[in-house]
Structures are given as structure tokens and as C-alpha cells.
Structure 1
Amino acid sequence: MLPKGLIVSCQALPDEPLHSSFIMSKMALAAYQAGAKGIRANSKEDIIAIKKEVDIPVIGIVKRDYEGSNVFITATSQEVDELIESGCEVIALDATKQTRPKESLEALVDYIRTQAPDVEIMADISNLEEAVQADKLGFDYIGTTLRGYTEYTKGHILYENDFQFLKDVMNLVEAKVVAEGNVITPEMLKRVTDLGVHCTVVGGAITRPLEITKRFIKEIEG
């Protein structure tokens, strides 16, 4: 369901200035008018608001913390149920090897396939082992979303060595590969597109003015 091209992530957590389903829906509309082929969004409420504004596929997630687990992206069937109700076309979930709060990754995949057979599934992975495992479980898309965000990949950046990690993932899996994480310039988007990814998710460089402003300030203040 995800066309090739740019997917724009429109997210704002409760502690961020732009946290609002209305604001996220307008952010998605701006991305759509600029030519984005899809949206990635967090929470049932935001997705419902976004889908009233744009008619392009939405990758849905629900971020929620669970005690005793570092998995927070669509971690359990509760979040899956919320996303099914939102009407998103694709459900993305943490597909890392980290300890999960409840169901196993395989059980969650089976649950989605049973409860929403028309919805596609995206695996957010951080290393090659996880990419291979996600491919075996039958994910429709494998994204590099969590590269550098797990304890065992801290310090690793997606674009290092000319996106070598991304190249390795594409060589190892049959599923469509989504470049996500630290793609922060138009030139990077062009490079990963040329490498052959199915599509690319860009968030912070487009939709997080707080972080964008910090980068500018850092250049002049150090």
C-alpha cells in the first residue's frame, strides 16, 4: 500500500510544543500538498484527524512506555487494536530483540493478520539479525527506524559508510525496505532512493521545528 517516494512522519509527543491532533493533521496536509506519498503518525487520535485531511496511506504507530521493557512502539495488542480502529493502512511495530512487555513479536504479527488481514505490517528494526527475523515472520516492510536507538546499536548512525547498513538490509531480505532514521537532507533522500529503497520516512528534518531550530542555534553558539 505504500507507494515509492517520500513518507513524512508527523508526530509530537505530549511534552512537545506541537502536540495536538489538529496541528499534526495540518502538518500532514502541508506534506501532502508538497508531494509526500504517505504519512507516519503516532496515536489513534492523530491518525483519525490526519485521514480527514489527506487521502494517502498512513503508517500508524502508538508510542507507549511499559515498565520492564524498552519496547515502546506498538508494543502490545492494545496498541494494535487502537491502530486498527484508526483506519491506518500500515501498522508499524518494534521488531527488535529487546524484552517485550507482553506478547511475542510472532504473536503480534499473527494477531494483526487475523484481526486486520487488509492491513500491512512494517517492522522497525535496529540490526541485521532483526531484519532477517522480521523477513521470516512475513512483514510487508522492514524499516531501519531503530538503528542507533537500542542499547546494542547506540552510536550507530544510518548514514555512516554511505548507508552501508541499509545496503546490507536490502541484500538480506525479500520484504520492501524503508529507509528511516537520520535522513535529514534532500541529498540523503536522493542517495537512499538511488540505492533502491522502496520508500523513505523523514520526520525530524521536516516536522520538528524545535529540533531544527536547535541545530541552527548549535552552529552559532556551539
Structure 2
Amino acid sequence: MRNDEILQRIKGGLVVSCQALEGEPLHSSYIMGRMAFAAYEGGAVAIRANTPEDIREIKKTVGLPVIGLHKVDYPDSEIYITPTMKEIDGLIQAGCDIIAIDATKRIRPKGQTLDELFRQARSKYPDQLFMADTSCYEEGLHAQELGFDLVGTTMSGYTEYTKGTVLPNYDLMKRYVDTLNIPVVAEGGIWSPEQLHKAFAAGVWTAVVGTAITRPREITRRFVNALS
């Protein structure tokens, strides 16, 4: 698919995040492939997935666009979502339709800035769609200036300077929609259809729901905690 076709295909629909880290009960590329198939049958327009291995399995299983990322912990940086060119190269080889990158203002491994990484990535892969995972308005504005194709509210509440933010962050969604010229992706803290509807009412292009759909351990804990 061409980039414009990918963007049109996800517009107005639900993206389901199918991820399970090591140590989680569903950690398995095969299981994530089946989870993606279940999301496809349920009406998802795209899948957000972690690691080249999971993404390859998912792309064998469903024909939906994939927003890919690779979570890797480096000892010298707080950033773990696609932190370096090594991860970007791997996601390209896995056939990601859109690559998600942490676009917060924090320093990356080996002291690299977002500007340096993204310019390198854009130069190497000029036709690739890139999504900026941001936590605050200034980061979204900067991501657009750098040339990202989409901007998401993914990291809101997850950086030191946005801790305590009430999620979903509808204010940030609306501000992005009102002032930016690239598609806005609502992501983070969407637990109910009512919250999803409110996000689309803010004007977002698409929305990602993960934990509320694909992490049964966390869903179970939420119900159990309601009994306390």
C-alpha cells in the first residue's frame, strides 16, 4: 500500500495494540499473531506491535497495516520505544507500515538527540511513515517540525514532567488537532467505548487501545481491585 492509502485505511478506526513483554503470561509471537487475528475479526483497522519477531508473525496472520515499535532498555537512557537506528533498521526489515519512535525531549542512548536520530532515519528511509510518541504539546509541535507523519499522545503521563496527568489526555488530543497539520493518534488510558468515542469527538485521526483489550492479566486485576 502507498502511504496515503495506509493513512486513509486507519482513519476513523480502532488500532489494537498487541504486545506482551518477557515475563508476561502471553509473551509469544504466535500468541500475538492470534491476538491480532482476533482484533482483525473484531473490526480493528490496524495493529500496533512490539519487536520484529512479533511483527513478522502478525503480518503473516493478518493483512492489516502494522504500527511497529521495538522496546529495548539501554542503561544510559530512559527511552525504550525504538531508541536507536538499530531498532529502526530491524523494524524496516520486518515490513512495518508505520514505525513508532519515542519523540520525547529526553536524551537517547549514547547522548543522541531525537533530532539527530530522526534526520538519520528520514535520510535512510525517505518513504517510510514515522509516528511520534509524545508526552506534551511542545514535543508534538517539534515532531511535526522534524517531519514526522503522525503524532500520538502515547507517552503522556509516562515522562517525569507529565506524571500525574489524567488519562486519556483529551486536552492534548484537542490541542494537537487544532494546531498541527499531521494526523493525531489518541493513545494511552482508553479503557471504555465511551472514552474512545470522546477521543474521536476531539477530532483525532485514529485511536490505539491496548491493555483494555489484549492484556487479560491487567483486565482481571482491574476487576479484582474493584472488589477491594
TM over 0.5: yes
Q: In the aligned structure 2, how far is the partner of 1:128 from the partner of 1:30?
A: 34
Q: In the aligned structure 2, how far is the partner of 1:217 from the partner of 1:38?
A: 30
Q: In the aligned structure 2, how far is the partner of 1:100 from the partner of 1:170?
A: 27
Q: In the aligned structure 1, how far is the partner of 2:32 from the partner of 2:188?
A: 19
Cα offset for 1:200?
0.1
Please tell me the residue identity of whatever aligns with 2:143. Answer: A
Q: In the aligned structure 1, how far is the partner of 2:182 from the partner of 2:113?
A: 20
Within-5 A mapping of 1:53-92: 53-92=61-100
Residue matched to 1:110 = 119
Cα offset for 1:170?
1.7
Q: Secondary structure at the match of 1:114?
A: helix
Within the alignment, does 1:130 sit opposite 2:139 as a pair? yes
* 1:44–1:86 contact (8 Å) kept in structure 2: yes
Residue matched to 2:33 = 25
Q: Secondary structure at the match of 2:61?
A: coil
* 1:177–1:198 contact (8 Å) kept in structure 2: yes
Residue matched to 1:201 = 208
Q: Secondary structure at the match of 1:52?
A: helix
Please tell me the residue identity of whatever aligns with 2:101. Answer: L
Out of 154, 166, 170, the position equivalent to 2:163 is 154
Out of 178, 190, 194, the position equivalent to 1:171 is 178
Deviations 1:84-137, CA, capped at 9 Å, x for gaps: 010010000000011211432123222332333332000000011101100101
Please tell me the residue identity of whatever aligns with 2:60. Answer: K
Deviations 1:185-214, CA, capped at 9 Å, x for gaps: 011111111221000000000000000000
* 1:158–1:166 contact (8 Å) kept in structure 2: no
Q: In the aligned structure 2, how far is the partner of 1:158 from the partner of 1:140?
A: 24
Unaligned runs of 5+ in 1: none
* 1:61–1:83 contact (8 Å) kept in structure 2: yes
Q: In the aligned structure 2, how far is the partner of 1:80 from the partner of 1:164?
A: 30
Deviations 1:132-191, CA, capped at 9 Å, x for gaps: 10010111000000000000101102336xx12211122221111000000110111111
Cα offset for 1:68?
1.9
Q: In the aligned structure 2, how far is the partner of 1:183 from the partner of 1:115?
A: 34
* 2:168–2:187 contact (8 Å) kept in structure 1: no
Cα offset for 1:215?
0.2
Please tell me the residue identity of whatever aligns with 2:83. Answer: A
Number of residues paired by the alignment? 219
Unaligned runs of 5+ in 2: 1-5
Please tell me the residue identity of whatever aligns with 1:46. Answer: D
Q: In the aligned structure 1, how far is the partner of 2:157 from the partner of 2:68?
A: 21
Q: What CA RMSD, in Å, does the superposition of the two structures yield over aligned residues? A: 1.1
* 1:158–1:165 contact (8 Å) kept in structure 2: no
Deviates more, 1:192-201 or 1:144-153: 192-201
Out of 207, 214, 218, the position equivalent to 2:221 is 214
